[in-house]
Amino acid sequence: MTLNLRSVMPIGYQASGVNTLLKGIIFAAILVSESVIARALSLVPYDSPPELEGGRGYVLVKLDVGGTAPSIEFAKMYANGNKYLLSGQKYKLRKKGRYKVSLKDKSEGFYLMTVPAGLYQITQINAPYFNLPYKLDTAKRRTWRFHVEAGKTNYIGSLFIGKQRKSDTVEVYFKNRIATDLDGVQEALNSLTELYPLVSGAGVQDEFLQSWLSPLEINQ
C-alpha cells in the first residue's frame, strides 16, 4: 500500500515545520525591507547648523521648491573614494545608503544637512500636487550626483521644483554653479565655513570650476 506521507506526519512536526517556514519568510522580508528602506534626513536653515559627527560633512543646497509635499531621494554609490565617475562608467548603488529628504514648506534659501562622506546619486524627485502624483526618475542621470567630503561644507547647488504644473509635467532642475553663487554662499555662511571649509560638492567633473580655481599663467 502506498501511503500519503502528509496524512501520517505527526501534527506537532507539521506545526513546527510551518512555524519554521513562516519565521524564515518573515526574517527574509525584514532583511529585504531594511536593505531598501530610505532613511529620513532633515534639512535645516543654514544659520542653525546641526552638530557634525565624525565621517560626515555638511551638505549645503539652495532651494526654490513648490507644491504640496515635494521630496527627494538619493543613494550612496560604490565609488572607491572618487569624487565623480567618468561618463559611461558602470556603477552600483548601495542598498544601505539610501535617504529621503522632505522639502515640504521649505521657503527659498540655503539649507544644511549632515551626510556621510561619499558620492551620491539623486534617484527620484517626488513632486505631488494636490491629487496629482508625480515622480521623476533621475537614477541614471549623471548631472544629478553630488559628493560629500567629511569635515567640509559641500555646496551641491540649486534645486528648483516648479509650483505651477500640468497633470503629467512639472519643471525641475538641479544645477551646481558655485563659481557664480560663491559670494552669496560665503556671505550667508561666513562663520560656518571658517570651521568647515567650503568646497564644491559637484558629483561630475566641473572643468570650468577647475580652470577658474587654478593659478593664472602670465606670459612674460
Answer whether 156's CB lies under 8 Å from 59's CB.
yes
User: For 122-129, what is the mean pLDDT?
Assistant: 91
What pLDDT score was predicted for residue 207? 53
Count of structural domains within the chain = 2
Q: Is residue 101 part of a domain?
A: yes
What distance in Å separates the CA atoms of residue 45 and residue 56, rounded to the nearest whole number?
A: 18
Q: What is the pLDDT of residues 74-110, one digit of tens each?
A: 999 998 888 878 877 888 999 889 999 999 999 999 9
User: For residue 205, what is the domain's CATH number?
Assistant: 2.60.40
Shared domain check, 110 and 22: no
Shared domain check, 85 and 28: no
Query: How far are the Cα atoms of 118, 141, 195 from residue 84, in angstroms, in the given order?
Result: 10, 13, 25
Shared domain check, 119 and 15: no
Q: Is residue 2 part of a domain?
A: no
Pairing verdict, β 118-126 and 71-77: antiparallel
- Domain containing residue 32: 9-36
Shared domain check, 103 and 22: no
With a cut of 70, say whether residue 191 has pLDDT above it: yes
Q: Is residue 218 part of a domain?
A: no
Shared domain check, 140 and 88: yes
Percent of the chain having pLDDT more than 90?
A: 47
What pLDDT score was predicted for residue 119? 96
Band (pLDDT 50/70/90 cuts) for residue 169 is confident
Task: Please indicate whether residue 18 or residue 176 has the higher confidence score (pLDDT).
Answer: 176
Shared domain check, 134 and 167: yes
Q: Is residue 4 part of a domain?
A: no
Task: Please indicate whether residue 111 or residue 67 has the higher confidence score (pLDDT).
Answer: 111
Nearest CA among 78, 166, 82 for reference residue 127: 166
Shared domain check, 89 and 178: yes
User: For 65-82, what is the mean pLDDT?
Assistant: 91
